Structure 1
């Protein structure tokens, strides 16, 4: 049996000299202020054990990792009908590409690029005022993490709203193709708030545990989605979770995962554990440089794709 705490401690010790590597996402002014010298990891196993290293308890802006939770909500509302509005294929283009969206007539390639996530947000908003939709997501994530202290960072949300011109362009483009039903400014208001969710590695690993445990959270006993849906969300994370670095992440780490430009990466070892790693410095494709290395080391030392396998 692998001693997970010893593995995490050794990874943290080895990577400590590299803390601060990469480039913080400075195109969102509020994120540009983050101290780059942070690095944490947390693993939550399906039998309820929690392992931590470094800054595992320090909250950060989860950004695009929130798309996993919004996708789960959207599938709960409209089921497989969602795929009429969003594709399921890797994009191979930048996460905020307009060219691809035009070429494909306003149907985003997958739910994890920005355009796809905006369309998913529009689906979740059906029957809700924007404030209610934000509240629904926050309640859902708190329920998943079993932690009422999860919050939305209003400063980050405001910062994104003030600088998110390309996201406004993507949303207006989809609206022109009738793939956005609600007013663009309302949809983006919700989208920017979901991206501004602030969570620690430990909270994030707890919230995503249902994807490691066939759709249920074994720590709370709550059933979240069916085993089939959990498997499909994991499949999408494996193929599309890291923008145009998805194939590289799958090759090196071999686990379904989702990254965010706040420096976090969430990953799933199906049947075994959920994992979150975070460090603000990003590589050239917008994924945390140190977190990606840490997850590769974790997978190698535990027998990825299943710990101890």
Structure 2
């Protein structure tokens, strides 16, 4: 194992990881419950590491677009925190769920207050906030994402419609929160925005760029009028560490030791504050809904470099 230094050859490390991952082929399954995602080639793999200074290292299919899915929840939360600040936490908690990301049992037990903003119910509440607070939520959210990436990011309407066609559990979660008084707007309007935000398409390079400034803990994060203070950015890192991987968040913290967020599109983004942001994409998922090869790639990265937040 090499130790993390300012002269770390990340390019060589990524190449080593790519070689070792060949023994990890065939692990996981592409999610079949979302028809459009089931069509994605499971053999694709990309990885990009961008330092806080902007130096980039990439391997594999790092320039291929994919649906970022639940990773978008961090970006929508960034806007919601900026608008509502501490009042936001009256509607959604900050605790790990310990349950699947679409659990309705926990939501009912806790009277319609989602455990955290990264499970589906929590992200639907955040979507409700943006529908209420933004004049044109779809356009303004997209402009924010384009601003932090510096790229022409777009929604994939076909993926959004595919998710909507099978989104029965999300509809149930939304109506339960509506009944409990924790959803203000029309359920279908909120879910339309929620599915659209999840359909955002990025490459590994764009995803690493989108989250890079989260690692610059001495600077605010955001774009335009939606800027997090340093304190808020640090709290977002804490949420990503404790809640970013559904009911596998503890395992990720234990094995990898970085704050991050996963999505069922097969992508993971993670960061080492003051050092780098790294993204990895491999469509087949493990039983917890996280990229099987992506989880292993990041475990190898922090093992080989000796760098984690601990």
**Which bin holds the TM-score, normalised by the shorter protein?**
over 0.9
Distance 1:224 1:268 in 2: 19
1:224 CA displacement: 3.6
Match of 2:243 in 1: 240
User: TM-score, normalised on structure 2?
Assistant: 0.94
Superposed, which structure 2 residues align to 1:269-288 within 5 Å? 269-288=272-291
Distance 1:111 1:303, change over 3 A: same
1:38 paired to 2:41: no
Picking from 2, 9, 21, the partner of 2:15 is 9
Superposed, which structure 2 residues align to 1:170-209 within 5 Å? 170-209=173-212
Q: Is the 8 A contact 2:112 2:182 kept in 1?
A: yes
1:125 paired to 2:128: no
Match of 2:143 in 1: 139
Secondary structure of the equivalent of 1:151? Answer: coil
Q: Is the 8 A contact 1:278 1:291 kept in 2?
A: yes
1:298 paired to 2:304: no
C-alpha deviations, 1:104-124, integer Å up to 9, x for none? 000000000000000011111
Secondary structure of the equivalent of 2:185? Answer: coil
Match of 1:112 in 2: 118
Greater mean alpha carbon deviation, residues 265-274 or residues 100-109: 265-274
RMSD: 1.9
Superposed, which structure 2 residues align to 1:86-105 within 5 Å? 86-105=92-111
1:127 CA displacement: 3.9
Distance 1:211 1:293, change over 3 A: same
Aligned residues: 303
| Runs of 5+ consecutive residues of structure 1 not aligned to the other structure | none
Secondary structure of the equivalent of 2:213? Answer: helix
1:250 paired to 2:268: no
1:20 CA displacement: 4.4
C-alpha deviations, 1:31-65, integer Å up to 9, x for none? 01010001111111111101101111111110000
1:80 CA displacement: 1.1
1:67 paired to 2:70: no
Q: Is the 8 A contact 2:134 2:140 kept in 1?
A: no
Distance 1:221 1:178, change over 3 A: closer
1:21 CA displacement: 2.5
Q: Is the 8 A contact 2:281 2:291 kept in 1?
A: yes
Q: Is the 8 A contact 1:215 1:226 kept in 2?
A: no
User: TM-score, normalised on structure 1?
Assistant: 0.94
Distance 2:71 2:167 in 1: 18
Distance 1:61 1:202 in 2: 14
Distance 2:48 2:224 in 1: 21
Match of 1:50 in 2: 56
